[in-house]
Amino acid sequence: MNKINQLFSSRGDQKLLSLYFCAGCPTLEGTADVILAMQRHGISMVEVGIPFSDPLADGPVIQSAGTVALRNGMTLRHLFSQLSAIKDQVQIPLVLMGYLNVVMHHGIERFCRDCVESGVSGMIIPDLPFRDYMEVVKPIADRYDLRVIMMITPETSEERIRLIDEHTEGFIYMVSSASITGAQKSFDDAKQAYFRKINAMALRNPRMIGFGISNKQTLTSAYHNAAGAIIGSKFVTLLNETRDPDEALRQLKQVLEED
């Protein structure tokens, strides 16, 4: 069974926590250390960012991380090599997050094959049109038993949400707001209404809420309204400040427990 499906089918009532970081930042060769540290600290799933020169959905923290990674020399080929080296040590699901241009340049078939060979269970491609997903990407990804995770936002129509729910597996990435990534102190009434609306749709797939989760209040809200939470910018900031994944994870845990 795909590790993403296995994670959600076996979680019971447990709320899941997924963390994002950008491969190659703060150091080129730190990818394995970050992933293995997350596994030791009980993180449920890891999103590994593929750096790109024009990341439209990303806020300043993750944009800066991508710039550093590219300057450090990170490439998709090097990332696959790093992941392959620790494949046998990693039990938690790995999801690659990157833009369509990078995937297309690598070749979709080759990208999927390299994902499987390096222990990756799924991918998030924020700028992948749904039609292209259905006609081009999904048939190849299905052949390799890979999950293509689609995003929804408060601006996504109910019709499109139903289509995504019907034609994807794994989980749905529920973006907390129709904006770029970045930490937020709380989720306002409009976001809470959005969460309630999606809950009422009784979707087939579990959801993970991401974008803006950085403290106990936003984490608790995400846990209340979905299967779990995804944290990116806050962890990337701590990782850049400490340059030590274990210390960054300790500090993140402390921040998420503070009232």
Q: Active-site residue numbers?
A: 47, 58
Degrees, nearest 5: CA angle 53-156-168: 80
Among candidates 124, 133, 69, which has minimal Cα distance to 99? 124
Name the residue with tokens 């102190």.
185
Among candidates 66, 60, 64, which has minimal Cα distance to 48? 66
Mind spelling out the 3-state secondary structure of 136-178?
Answer: HHHHHHHHCCCEEECEECCCCCHHHHHHHHHHCCCCEEEECCC
**Rounded to 5 degrees, what are φ and ψ at 65?**
-60, -40
Among candidates 238, 230, 239, 187, which has minimal Cα distance to 211? 230
Which residues make beta-bridge pairs with 173? 151, 208
Distance, CA of 152 to CA of 172 (rounded, Å): 7
Degrees, nearest 5: CA angle 168-43-212: 70
Q: How many residues does the chain have?
A: 259
Among candidates 116, 216, 124, which has minimal Cα distance to 170? 124
**Coil/strand/helix, residue 38:** helix
